[in-house]
Structure 1
Amino acid sequence: MTLSTRLVALLALALCVVAVPAPAGHVVHEARDRIPRGWAPVRRAEPDMVLPFRVGLVQPNLQNIEDYIMDVSHPESPNYGKHWSPAKVASTFRPTKESVDTVRDWLVEGGIAPERVKLGTGGSWMKVNVTIEEAERLLGTEYYVYQYGEDDNYTHVACHEKYHLPEHVSKHVEIVSPTLHFDTIPRGPAGQWQKVGSRDDSNSSSSARTIGQPGFGTSFPKTKGTIQSIIDQLENCDEQIVPNCLRALYDFEYYPLVPDKNSLAIVEYTPQAYVASDLDMFFSNFSPSQVGQRPVLYSIDGGYIQTDYGGFDYNGESNLDLQYAMSLVGSRQPVQLYQAGDLYEGASFGNLLDALDASYCTFDGGDDPEFDAVYPDPYGGYEGAEDCGTVTPAYIMSTSYGYTEADLTPAYEQRQCAEYAKLGLMGITVLFSSGDDGVAGNSGVCLDADGEEDYDGTVFAPGFPVDCPYVTAVGATQVNPNSTVLEPESACEQVIYSGGGFSNVFPMPSYQASAVEEYLTNYPPGYPAGTYNTSGSRAYPDIAANGANYIVAVQGEFYLVYGTSCASPVSAAIFSAINDARIAIGKSPIGFINPTIYTPEFRAAFNDITTGSNPGCGTEGFYAQPGWDPVTGVGTPNFVKLLALWLVLP
């Protein structure tokens, strides 16, 4: 940051000390004790700047959501596999009329004309465009313009430290935005909030800063570079992983019986994109019958296979995910590709969830512009309406992207986690890679004693959404050097380390309590108090699969690739085959698998990983041990054993 920028930032910080007093009868609704790394306040936001103000209403019955999902997901439940319809999910969690009326009355009494206030089609959000002056009055806070690094093109508007609501209103509101949340990637001039009547026609792709944009916080696979020759032999899987290695490791051979009734999806975010010629290059070596085969594209908010940018940073993730998912399930089983966002606005996890569940959307199928892309794209690109409930979720979905938990606020994370629970209620299995930096966050960031992100910190930094109790977090293993696929794997310790640990936001779900307690009792990590959350929180990963030395075709060359990004799509292919077998005999898909895989019978069907660790934050992290551990979860899948167990369930 330049000297002048630092001086402005310091001045802004000094101004922050004189906070707007909370109006009488108001309570703190949400607070933030730190600013995500890279951001700094540089000036007060102009009073006439217009904000797309959103109020997320309390969803009833969320306090019962664990009971609901255990009822349809635990193998001992009489309702196992009796998944809910989307209509039942929507009606169960739709905000009450009392919440709608209370929030609307508060806004009107605060000086907002009634005709300006709109209720979202899903009933979960209220929308009104307000000025900074109006927002500060309503919330008893101050808004600042925050800058990312030294470039004043990358700015973001948020309020300082906390905001307030009337006490009687607060109990009807989950979250208000834009307020504290930094689930956003720096936008260029096209992405800055505009004053009333102003317009910025810039449509430079340099303003596309999304989940898929390299270098902005989310995890991506790593590489050692290109290789000159392929060794497709089982005795060489310690040097190069190819599909046959994975089939041997996990006893995975399967011929799909009802591929037209089954479904598997890989999630990608533009500008990440696969290269068709790379798929064929890979298939010609490892699955010749699939040369010419492509994933079935589901475009979300203008998502498309961009070709403006190429190379490993833009093609490595998508090529990896699709080459392995498609080759493992074979040519009979179509693989869906959920490609989210155009090249300008991009997309967020929230945009994806909107497309999968209409009840998650906001006004007219819109979204939250603070941290989600807005369509029609006002800066060039996709001109259609935002997708809202336009995609029927596949039975298995794999995502190899993720945040550091501390980047976001608990309120936002909790709201999104509840949506993953709803997908589980509908019979959807959601897999997320657990991260590649061991007990540290993305790019190796840790936390200091105050919970702030610090590369020199010694406090472990969990990830999100892998710490959500309603997704299945997938860690990484490796074939040890000079070993074969017939010998036990260990936790991945080549180039990357399997992400794992304990959430600072989510409590421990009941399904994993026994396994985690067993680990902490028998193999206490021995770190000083405060190194990680020991208060009984969600632990991850849940399972693992190989994540080292993958052969991936990228732009006409073969690369050696590493990451939990490898492990998630491989696991998805295996679970998809189990779904096919169940559906073929008239049974339901496996749905949310965590309550099942933590039972003693199913834990015994995984290959237990007992060696290796996941270093980070100046420590050796946690160690893989017999049973569940926060490095490799319950272990890697044994397809034959798991298939037999799942086929006998209702």
Structure 2
Amino acid sequence: MPFLTQSFVFLTFSLLVTAIVSPRVVHEKRDATPSGWTPVRRAAADVVLPLRIGLTQPNLETLDDYLLEISHPESPNYGKHWSAAKVAEMFRPPPAAVKTVLEWLEDEGLDASRVKLSKGGSWIHANMTVEEAEMLLGTEYHVYQHGESGVEHIACEEKYHLPEHVAEHVDLVMPTLHFDVHMGRKRSIDTSIGQPGAGIVNPKLMGEVESALLNTTSCDEQITPDCLRALYGYDYTPVATDKNSIGIVEYTPVAYLPADMDMFFGNYSPTQVGQRPVVVSIDGGYEQTSFEGFSINGEANLDLQYAMALVGSTQNVTLYQVGDLVEGASFNNFLDALDASYCTYDGGDNTTFDGVYPDSEYDSKDCGTVSLTNIISTSYGYTEALLGPAYIQRQCYEYGKLGLMGVTFLYSSGDNGVAGNGECLDADGAESYSGTRFNPGFPGTCPYVTSVGATQVQPGKTVNDPEVACDTNIYSGGGFSNVFAIPDWQVDAVHGYLNNYSVAYAADVYNSSGISRGYPDIALNGLNYSVISNGLIQLVAGTSASAPTAAAILSGVNDARLAAGKSPIGFINPTIYSSNFSSGFNDITSGNNPGCGTDGFSAQPGWDPVTGLGTLNFPKLLDLWLALP
């Protein structure tokens, strides 16, 4: 029987019985309305919401142990990565948990025909009206309006409730509180992360140059593939290209232009003229040319030109093109395609952030259908505050699960220093241009990804001189998470920094607890990259340059290991933070990452929240990784 056709008296009685059997508890709450948003009216009772319940996954409390077993260099099981089937089985919600939540919905009068369990078994989906959802969750839905853009969004007021016996089986319910869309930058097509100006990572255009640099004498003015090879000792010819793989992720409408690729290769890698990435379409992604310009083509051109030139003509590069022009896409849409145990497009995507398919052009079937590459680089990001703890925690665990399968995930750390997307946090934890608290980026703060910051060659210096933290046009994103705890493999590094170097900020300015995840993990040059975009030689800056460069260099390590009959490096963080690997990095000891009215943090000897462990020293890292089983 439909939920609202029962009498009010019977429904009230049902809720009272439920309350007696299992009292309702606050499941999630929001302390303040996000910056720029104002409640303007109660949501209409008959508006239909795509309610999605994310079930708690078992064994996540031991995920770190599983990862250390295959990723720590001293483990006897180093490199013995898991199969997708083993991962799915380990983290699938048990039937008893699914039964509990389904019975709760049935007890509340929701007909079974309206309820759907996702293919991965971890999401329950049911369309219901606002009135039904308010009764179910003990909350009120309001329409919030953004003052600058006029955009409206339906969200809960402050908090929502679940029965105590149900709450233990649920991570989060959406849509409820997770609507903190940053609308400060108007977007021309839609609201996906692929939009110009979206997120914390955007290649910064520094100007045009008349001619390409064809030597390494002026790398302080113009970075080229040869400059990067010289900086990091990357002199390597792949020999196991049939076994190795590297992936670059782009989000529609961002797309590369073939003519730009050929012009770039003509300058820096002539044997690659005509070469293209191997495109893997996710949720209708394709190499769109309906929209052009640096804001549309700059990122993809940068990522692919450098990744492809550095790995060379014999190694294919996979382009994961995610989302169509109607819906766009998000990290969750991408992760859906990689792991069937996670799939949320049919039961768990957040309509605020995630493209929801089918749309007018595409009906997604990409549920665990896409092959994993050994390394995946992504030059996009958000902030922790924007997405909310429950949303990012669930997504972060997915990176850990994929790490079990042997994938190295690299994410740019951000381009605004400690200020996240350019905004800081106010006293209530909301993003604000007048805020004074540091605003950590995500996914860089997720312990299961490797976060990549930015360095630069100092003006007037050469590739033989020490680099410094990038302080021209962009600042390396870094700091300490407000959500994720410090992983065991990072404790010594973080405590070493906090104990040995003065951080002259009050405890309410940043998470100074010493028990939170620090980022970035590593850094690479991120200034003055020579990129061909829309037929012009453009100088570009950003951690969005650092991440694909790191991926290409680490891909060389994978190639050598695979050629020696060994596994790819997989989740690298426990390894690179181990004492034996300290010699594999060029320590960066100068520079800051300003923001929020401060100088940010300072680069110091050892790990720091500006440049991480330092830049890659390829010859030393190659020897160190080849020495592992």
Give the structure-2-normalised TM-score: 0.94
Report matched runs for 1:115-514 at 5 Å: 115-152=113-150, 154-182=151-179, 208-362=190-344, 367-377=349-359, 380-381=360-361, 383-442=362-421, 444-514=422-492
Query: 1:319 and 1:133 mapped to 2: Cα distance?
Result: 48
Amino acid at match of 2:84: P
- Partner in structure 2 of residue 14 of structure 1: none
Contact 1:95-1:123 at 8 Å conserved across structures: yes
Distance 1:510 1:600, change over 3 A: same
Q: Secondary structure at the match of 1:146?
A: strand
Q: Secondary structure at the match of 1:289?
A: helix
Q: Are positions 1:110 and 2:108 aligned together?
A: yes
Contact 1:155-1:186 at 8 Å conserved across structures: no
Q: Secondary structure at the match of 2:205?
A: strand
Contact 1:29-1:162 at 8 Å conserved across structures: yes
Contact 1:256-1:577 at 8 Å conserved across structures: yes
- Partner in structure 1 of residue 563 of structure 2: 584
Partner of residue 95 from structure 1, selected from 93, 96, 108 = 93
Contact 1:375-1:386 at 8 Å conserved across structures: no
Q: Are positions 1:631 and 2:628 aligned together?
A: no
Query: 1:248 and 1:59 mapped to 2: Cα distance?
Result: 46
Q: Secondary structure at the match of 1:238?
A: coil
- Partner in structure 1 of residue 5 of structure 2: none
Distance 1:49 1:185, change over 3 A: farther
Query: 1:397 and 1:627 mapped to 2: Cα distance?
Result: 26
Query: 1:362 and 1:417 mapped to 2: Cα distance?
Result: 14
- Partner in structure 2 of residue 60 of structure 1: 58
Amino acid at match of 2:132: E
CA shift for structure 1 position 209: 1.7
Query: 1:211 and 1:527 mapped to 2: Cα distance?
Result: 32
For residues 469-496 of structure 1, what are the alpha-carbon distances to aligned partners after superposition, in whole Å with 9 as ceiling and x for unaligned?
0000000000000000001000001100
Partner of residue 70 from structure 2, selected from 72, 76, 88 = 72
Q: Unaligned 5+ residue runs, structure 1?
A: 1-19, 188-204
Q: Which range is displaced more, 130-139 or 449-458?
A: 449-458
- Partner in structure 2 of residue 37 of structure 1: 35
Amino acid at match of 1:237: C
Distance 1:125 1:507, change over 3 A: same
For residues 342-365 of structure 1, what are the alpha-carbon distances to aligned partners after superposition, in whole Å with 9 as ceiling and x for unaligned?
011000100000000011013758
Q: Which range is displaced more, 155-164 or 555-564?
A: 155-164
Contact 2:345-2:356 at 8 Å conserved across structures: no
CA shift for structure 1 position 241: 0.3
Amino acid at match of 2:412: S
Q: Which range is displaced more, 38-47 or 580-589?
A: 38-47
For residues 444-486 of structure 1, what are the alpha-carbon distances to aligned partners after superposition, in whole Å with 9 as ceiling and x for unaligned?
1111222221212221110011000000000000000000000
Partner of residue 525 from structure 1, selected from 503, 523, 526 = 503
- Partner in structure 1 of residue 599 of structure 2: 620
Amino acid at match of 1:179: T
Amino acid at match of 2:457: V
Amino acid at match of 1:239: E
Contact 2:332-2:344 at 8 Å conserved across structures: no
Give the structure-1-normalised TM-score: 0.91
Contact 2:181-2:386 at 8 Å conserved across structures: no
**What is the number of residues matched between the two proteins?**
609
Partner of residue 24 from structure 2, selected from 26, 51, 72 = 26
Contact 1:51-1:132 at 8 Å conserved across structures: yes
Contact 2:269-2:309 at 8 Å conserved across structures: yes
Query: 2:358 and 2:594 mapped to 1: Cα distance?
Result: 44
Contact 2:284-2:322 at 8 Å conserved across structures: yes
Contact 1:362-1:368 at 8 Å conserved across structures: no
Contact 1:251-1:640 at 8 Å conserved across structures: yes
Q: Are positions 1:538 and 2:536 aligned together?
A: no
- Partner in structure 2 of residue 197 of structure 1: none
Q: Secondary structure at the match of 2:38?
A: strand
Query: 1:612 and 1:60 mapped to 2: Cα distance?
Result: 43
Q: Secondary structure at the match of 1:253?
A: coil
RMSD of aligned Cα (Å): 1.8
Contact 1:181-1:371 at 8 Å conserved across structures: no
- Partner in structure 2 of residue 84 of structure 1: 82
Distance 1:248 1:78, change over 3 A: same
CA shift for structure 1 position 217: 3.4
- Partner in structure 2 of residue 198 of structure 1: none
Q: Are positions 1:570 and 2:531 aligned together?
A: no
Amino acid at match of 1:426: M
Query: 1:119 and 1:452 mapped to 2: Cα distance?
Result: 34
Q: Secondary structure at the match of 2:191?
A: coil
Amino acid at match of 1:555: N
Query: 1:23 and 1:301 mapped to 2: Cα distance?
Result: 42
Query: 1:323 and 1:447 mapped to 2: Cα distance?
Result: 36
Amino acid at match of 2:143: V
Distance 1:366 1:290, change over 3 A: farther
Q: Secondary structure at the match of 1:305?
A: coil
Query: 1:574 and 1:608 mapped to 2: Cα distance?
Result: 17
Contact 1:376-1:386 at 8 Å conserved across structures: no
CA shift for structure 1 position 38: 3.6
Query: 2:467 and 2:206 mapped to 1: Cα distance?
Result: 21
Query: 2:282 and 2:389 mapped to 1: Cα distance?
Result: 26
For residues 379-422 of structure 1, what are the alpha-carbon distances to aligned partners after superposition, in whole Å with 9 as ceiling and x for unaligned?
x33x2334111111110000000001110111111000000000
Query: 2:44 and 2:593 mapped to 1: Cα distance?
Result: 46
Amino acid at match of 2:89: S
Amino acid at match of 2:193: I
Amino acid at match of 1:85: S
- Partner in structure 2 of residue 11 of structure 1: none
CA shift for structure 1 position 36: 3.3
Q: Secondary structure at the match of 1:397?
A: strand
- Partner in structure 2 of residue 10 of structure 1: none
Distance 1:559 1:315, change over 3 A: same
Query: 1:309 and 1:100 mapped to 2: Cα distance?
Result: 44
Query: 1:274 and 1:542 mapped to 2: Cα distance?
Result: 28
CA shift for structure 1 position 186: 6.6
Identity of matched residues, % = 64
Query: 2:40 and 2:189 mapped to 1: Cα distance?
Result: 20
Distance 1:448 1:363, change over 3 A: closer
Q: Secondary structure at the match of 1:418?
A: helix
Contact 1:607-1:637 at 8 Å conserved across structures: yes
